[in-house]
Amino acid sequence: METGTHSNITKLDCFVCGVARGRVICLNGRKSKEHNFLEKLKLVLNNNDLFASIVNSNSPLVCRNCYRKVEQTYDFILQLKTSVSKYVTENSVPVKWDETLPATPESMNPEPQNAQPNCLRKKLKLMSPAKQVQNPTPSDNASNIPFIKHATLSSTCISLPDHGYSRLVDGEVSSESTILSNLKALLQGISAGKDSTSILLRELRTQSSTLTSRLPIFCSVLYKYRNLSKLEDNIDHFQDEIIAEMMKRVPLLLKVMLCVATPESENMKPSILPAIASAYSILMKHKYDNLSAYHRLTTIIAVNGGLDERGQTRLNQLGLMLSYSSGTSLKQEIKAMTEQRIAGNLKQNPLIKVNGDINVNDHLVVKRDEIRT
């Protein structure tokens, strides 16, 4: 009796769940490289030594179930960072005070005293030290990411530029940047100066403040055209209206920009118009957040051009467009406006018309001459 050769199928173990599976994926294989799985696993593990040990082991394998869970965890971490960034940006986090107020003659006097005014209680509260916040140790994989420090009352706020979120570092009291301090001192000198230049600059500051009004008769075009439909209707002469507003409302600022942007030969090119309009729009958006018509336009251009989240975040930090979260809301607003227009056009010019009695002699006639692409 002939006996056939019996072949056993060896099931390899997954290094995550430890279960022998029939179909596994090699970490150094083609699929792992195409989906950038190693970088995702490194972020999820949050431990460089452990990650290096796994990668350097003998043919590490992972089953499809664990492979999918690692990718889902990576996507959740990115979503969490984006959500936290939006929350920190749009909401102020209150700081609790656990230290007692400094000793004062009133507090040392055991006799009952009248209630202190609100203004005095606020001053005493500001004098007390802030509660220190304990923070987790930064992850190893984030150690090489550049960061920017901002001064706070009792700690230093570190902003990671890739995703725009921030964290606090305990026990480090730092002053604000030297450049920002110099700018504040310069502004204070203008406010207190009595020379002709300071007087003109204070007048310019007053003129620019009137542009922050929401009244239709006083508001800026950067506020008037925040609405998408108005921005679309006036897009062809939007730049010209910005320049006209500068000539009428802030002529001194326009003269200063012209002196800076025009070369010595006084050869003024047409490209100076978008340069001045952009600079003015960025400055006014920094002064009052609702003057955002220009930034809405640049955000629409960037999103339609396929700019990713990181690129939008970087341009937002440069003051050129809205944040990524605001851009997402803007896309939803555009989608809703488009659907509303389609529904309105179909009500006015329907593509299908019903003739005759529906129950007896019903037939449909397509109005081909009203079809629009």
> Per-residue pLDDT tens for 32-69?
877 888 888 888 888 888 888 888 877 788 888 888 88
Domain of 317, in residue numbers:
295-373
Does one domain contain both 287 and 310?
no
**Measured CA distances, 373 to 193, 233, 334 (Å):** 63, 20, 19
Q: Is residue 145 pLDDT above 50, yes or no? A: no
Stretch 301-312: mean pLDDT: 90
Does one domain contain both 268 and 300?
no
Task: Indicate the residue among 45, 71, 89 that finishes a domain.
Answer: 89
- pLDDT score for 111: 53
Count of domains forming the chain:
3
Q: Is residue 199 part of a domain?
A: no
Q: Is residue 248 pLDDT above 60, yes or no? A: yes
Stretch 210-236: mean pLDDT: 90
- pLDDT score for 197: 92
Q: What's CA 282's distance to the chain center, in Å? A: 16
Does one domain contain both 278 and 322?
no
Task: Indicate the residue among 89, 109, 135 that finishes a domain.
Answer: 89
Task: Indicate the residue among 89, 117, 148 that finishes a domain.
Answer: 89
Q: Is residue 201 part of a domain?
A: no
CATH code at 19? 3.40.1800
Lowest mean pLDDT among 143-147, 243-247, 345-349: 143-147
- pLDDT score for 170: 45
Provide the 8-state DSSP code for 154. S
In the numeric block, the tokens 């047409």 are attached to 270
Does one domain contain both 319 and 361?
yes
> Please, which pLDDT band fits residue 109 given cuts at 50, 70 and 90?
low
In whole angstroms, what is the distance from residue 52 CA to residue 41 CA?
11
Q: What's CA 237's distance to the chain center, in Å? A: 28
In whole angstroms, what is the distance from residue 30 CA to residue 177 CA?
48
In whole angstroms, what is the distance from residue 336 CA to residue 45 CA?
41
Residue among 230, 373, 235, 227 nearest 301 (CA): 235
Q: Is residue 110 part of a domain?
A: no
Does one domain contain both 286 and 302?
no
- pLDDT score for 358: 47
In whole angstroms, what is the distance from residue 61 CA to residue 59 CA?
6
In whole angstroms, what is the distance from residue 64 CA to residue 25 CA?
7
- pLDDT score for 129: 52
Let me know if 5 is exposed, middle or buried by CB neighbors in 10 A (0-12, 13-18, 19+): exposed
Report pLDDT digits (tens) over 313-361. 999 999 999 998 888 888 888 888 888 888 888 788 776 555 555 444 4
Instruction: State the alpha helices, DSSP H only, in the chain.
Output: 30-34, 37-45, 48-55, 64-90, 105-108, 118-127, 178-192, 196-210, 221-224, 228-233, 238-249, 251-261, 272-287, 293-304, 309-317, 324-348
**Total residue count of the chain as it appears in this document:** 373
